[in-house]
Each structure stands twice: as C-alpha cells, then as structure tokens.
Amino acid sequence: MADATSVDATDHELTPEAAGERSTASHDQRVSESLREALGVDWDPAPPMPHPARADLAPYTARRRRRLSELFPRDLIVVPAGNLKVRANDTEYPFRASSAFTWLTGETAADAVLVLYPSEGAHEPTLYVREFAQAGEPEYFTSRTSGALWIGNVPSVADTGAVLKLPVKPLTALEPDLRPFRQYDAAVLTGIDGRLDSLLPRGTDAGLKQALDELRLIKDEWEIDRLQSACDATTRGFADVARELPAVVGRADLRGERWLEGTFWRRARLEGNEVGYTSIVGAGTHATTLHWWRNNGVVAPGSLLLCDMGVETDELYTADVTRTLPVSGEWAPAQLRVYRAVQEAQQAGIEEVKAGADFRAAHRAAMEVIAGHLHHWGVLPVPPEVSCDPDPDRPGAGLHRRYTLHSTSHMLGIDVHDCAAARADQYVAGTLAPGHVLTVEPGIYFQVNDRTVPPELRGIGVRIEDDVVVTDGAPRVLSAALPRDPDELLEWMREAQASKPL
Ligand SMILES: [Mn+2]
C-alpha cells in the first residue's frame, strides 16, 4: 500500500477533529490544518459507482425472502453480510459476504444488514448499506476504510435500492431502527456481525441458519445459470493450466504447482470474484493428499497432476471441478488403469443423479465400482459387496475406504459445501429433486507408504469431479465441457497447448 498521508488506520468513525490531530498509522504523515481545510472544499461530486448486481436478479431474491418470511411469520428476521476480517496489523482479507445474506438480497458489500420487519403476517424488508464519505466530508480523504477518494466510491443508497428493488437505508439508520426491538426475541443469523449481535442482545438463531440452508437446497433457474457460468469460467481456467503446464514440467527452479495455482487464480479474478475455495494443485504423490493446498511442489515429468479448482462468479456462485492430468501428455499403464476405474465409478455415480433417487445413491454406485476394481487388483482383501455393506459391524465392511477416503457428493451453490446446516432428512439422508446441484467426485488414492498396495500403484492419486443438476430427466452436467475420457483429455490438452493465451 502506498498511503503516505492517511491518518485513519483502523477507526472509520474517527471524528474530523481527531483526524486533524492524530496520526494513527506509524508510516503516516500528519495532515496539516491548511491541508485539512483545503481538502474540505472545491470538489465536484465523486463519480458514482453503478451497483454491480445483475438487473434480472430482483424477482428471484424477492421470492426467496417471501419463502423465508413464511417460515417465521411473526419474527423480526435479521441477516448480516459480515465485516472485514483482519489479516495482519492494518490489512484485511478481501471481503466476502455471508452466503445467506447475498442469496436474500443480491448485495455483496461489507457491513450491510438485511432486516425483515414483521407486518401483518408477512414482512417488510429493509437493507442497510454503508455509505462512504463523499467529497466535502473530512473522511473523504482521511479514511482508509470508508473514504471514497481513498478506496473508491460505493453505489449510492438510491442506486442500490433501484437495482436490488427493495427499500435501502444508510447503515447509520440501523441502530435507531433496531432500538425498539432490543427486548425482542429476534431471529438473527448470529456470529457473523458482532456489532449487530450487540444491538439485539435477545436475538438468537431460532432455527434461522438451518431454515436458510434448507431453502437454499433447491436452486432456481437464475442460480443454475450462475453455476453454469462458474463452470464455464472454470473450464477456461483449466485450459489455461493445461496450456502453461509444459513450461513448468521438470523445472526444479519453479514451484510448478504454485505457478499453475496462480494461472487458475488469474482466470478466477478475470471472470469472477475469486476462487470459490483454495485450489488444490497436487503433482505426483501430492495427488494422494486430499487437501493438498500448500501447492509448493515440483511437477515431475511422467507424473499425474490433480487439480481441484473452481471459479466463484461475481454473484458468489462457485464451481467445484477436479481433473487429473498426465503432465507429459501420455498415460503410463498403471496411471491409466487407475484413471479408468475412477472414470467408470464417476459415470455410475452421475447416472444415479436423478429426481427420486437417494442423495447417497451416487456414492453407493461409485463405491461399488471402485471396490470391484480394488478387489480385482488384489488390493482389497474382501469381495466388494462385503466392503460396501452399510453394516459397520460386518467383518470386512468399509475396507475400500482406505483407498477412497471421502464421500462422493456434496451440495454446491453459493458455498462450495452448500447447505451444510440442512437437516439430514433434507440432505444426506434425503431424496434428490429437480434443482438440486451436487458434485460427483470419486477418487482413488494409493499412498506412497501403503504396504497393502502393489509397488507400481503406490503414489498414484486420481479424482474426477463434476457438477451435476438434478432435472426431471437425465442429469445435467454443468462442467461437461471439460473432457473426462482419458483419450479426449489428452486431445483437449494438446488443443489447449496449441492455443494462444489471449
Ligand atoms: Mn467437491
């Protein structure tokens, strides 16, 4: 940061007087009296900042708020976006609004709060948003966190209301508006905005978090369109990685995994908000570590590269996709054997993603395929039907999990592991319905130090992950543009490597 003159490191409520007298950051210069006076005058209004939300969103958020309202007909409902979090000293992490808040409003700004006021069996919404200090106000120049000159303007209250199509007030109105409700048992999404929690000391979750996660299980058409966009951008990011892969293979002077992580991240920033979760880029034996996100390894020739990466759109919907690539552009026989087994398992899983099926059906189908191959290879010492028996007390049950480690599916949406607070009967023990979006992501992981595995298979890790929508008919694979067939994957890599980056 090149901020030589700011006086306001952390306290955006700093008074003009204090701003003139204090230098709160160690590297700041004091603002002279003359400068402070000069900065207060002779400005035209700061250029307005259009609200970034899509114009077609408002009818969907209105419907979502109505559905929430119906579940809590008499309650004051309060859902905050959350606040900036300190990374170190006076620097913060990039802000990312709470998922339920954005789902209900389309807003993504820090400190914003949605309040649904009960009114005759329904609710009247008000969105409170932070305004930034404008030209002529002292903090226009002096505040690092809310000075429009310092960090850029934000959309006005009026423009926010016009785009999101709901009543909007400045954040300064929140405290007085909530004062009559201090003794009220409000339903608050707690633990996200500490200042808000203190405004409503009797507020409790009251089942709100669970209700919101259950409402979010079924995606509307707008959300599926955004998830498709996330998958399309993710597909382009994978092509970027495939294109740059040859440049890092075998380069001991480069941290090849880190380079490729950066390659994907650039695509995520170009086409969306960010990556939806920390990218996993594991070459060679790192592919057998499920959450390998140190991404600091060398990409050795002849190894496999497992990339689990997803672009999060500006509206905060994320893809969650994994491909495992042979870095030198050809499969070694042992690698191909494992890859084909995982692909067969994934296909069996995807075919179970249909309305009326158990959520766990895809997992069962994928595990039966994998256990069959493991047994055939002499790795699994019991028949697959024994290992896949759901009765944990049966001798031999679950032994295949040593090599598969994780479940095959989770819901996907604004959160990569979406709707985690939904009750089991609505989610993991429930039934699939049109509008559910889930991953299908089986894997086989042979640890390099596993004595139960034939030496030629040790150190091989393969996962294939796609994002699938439940429809009234066949499953719709949002990430289908990325090939999964091992031959098509090689052809796709060659095409990417023959293409120009821009
Ligand atoms: Mn996943």
| SS3 per residue for 331-359 | CCHHHHHHHHHHHHHHHHHHCCCCCCCEC
Token pair recorded at residue 32 = 């002279």
Query: 52 alpha carbon to ligand 1 midpoint, in Å?
Result: 28
Matching residue, tokens 């390998």:
292
The residue written with tokens 């039907």 in the block is: 385
Domains 58-129+156-215 and 221-498 share a fold: no
Q: How far is the CA of 103 from the centre of ligand 1 (A)?
A: 21
Q: Biggest alpha carbon distance in the chain?
A: 84
Residue 132 DSSP symbol: P
Q: What is the CATH superfamily name and number for domain 58-129+156-215?
A: Creatinase/prolidase N-terminal domain (3.40.350.10)
The CA 463 to ligand 1 mean position distance, Å, reads 10
Helix/strand/coil percentages in the chain, nearest 5: 35, 15, 50
Tell me how far the alpha carbon of residue 277 lies from the centroid of ligand 1, in angstroms: 10
Span from the CA of 27 to the centroid of ligand 1 (angstroms): 44
Residue ranges of domains in the chain: 58-129+156-215, 221-498
Closest CA to 239 of 270, 269, 264: 264
Interval between CA 441 and ligand 1 midpoint (Å): 7
Q: 65 CA to middle of ligand 1, Å? A: 28
- The pLDDT, as a whole number, for residue 21 is 39
> Half-sphere exposure (CA, 13 Å, Cβ side) for 225?
8
**Centre of ligand 1 from the C-alpha of residue 405, in Å:** 13
The answer for residues whose C-beta is within 8 angstroms of residue 321's C-beta and 6 or more apart is: 231, 234, 235, 238, 308, 309, 310, 465, 466, 467, 479, 482
Q: Which residues surround ligand 1, an ion (CB under 5 A)?
A: 320, 439
Contact between 337 and 378 (Cβ < 8 Å): no
Encode the chain (502 residues) as per-residue pLDDT tens digits. Answer: 334 333 333 333 334 444 443 444 678 788 889 988 898 899 999 888 999 999 999 999 999 999 999 999 999 999 999 999 999 998 999 999 999 999 999 999 999 999 999 999 899 999 999 999 999 998 898 888 889 999 999 999 999 999 999 999 999 999 999 999 999 999 999 999 999 999 999 999 999 999 999 999 999 999 999 999 999 999 999 999 999 999 999 998 889 999 999 999 999 999 999 999 999 999 999 999 999 999 999 999 999 999 999 999 999 999 999 999 999 999 999 999 999 999 999 999 999 999 999 999 999 999 999 999 999 999 999 999 999 999 999 999 999 999 999 999 999 999 999 999 999 999 999 999 999 999 999 999 999 999 999 999 999 999 999 999 999 999 999 999 999 999 999 999 999 999 988 7
Residue 417 Cα to ligand 1 midpoint, Å, equals 7
Cα 413 to averaged position of ligand 1 atoms, centre (Å): 11
- 464 Cα: distance to centroid of ligand 1 (angstroms): 10
Cα of 306 from ligand 1 centre, angstroms: 13
Residue 440 pairs with which residues in a beta bridge?
466
CA distances from 180 to 46, 176, 380 (A): 35, 8, 65
The domain defined by 221-498 carries CATH number 3.90.230.10: yes
Task: Output the CA 319–ligand 1 centroid distance in Å.
Answer: 9
CB < 8 Å & 24+ apart, contacts of 344-351: 344/369, 344/373, 345/369, 345/370, 345/442, 346/440, 346/441, 346/442, 346/464, 346/465, 346/466, 346/484, 349/408, 349/409, 349/440, 349/442, 350/440, 350/466, 350/468, 350/475, 350/477, 351/475
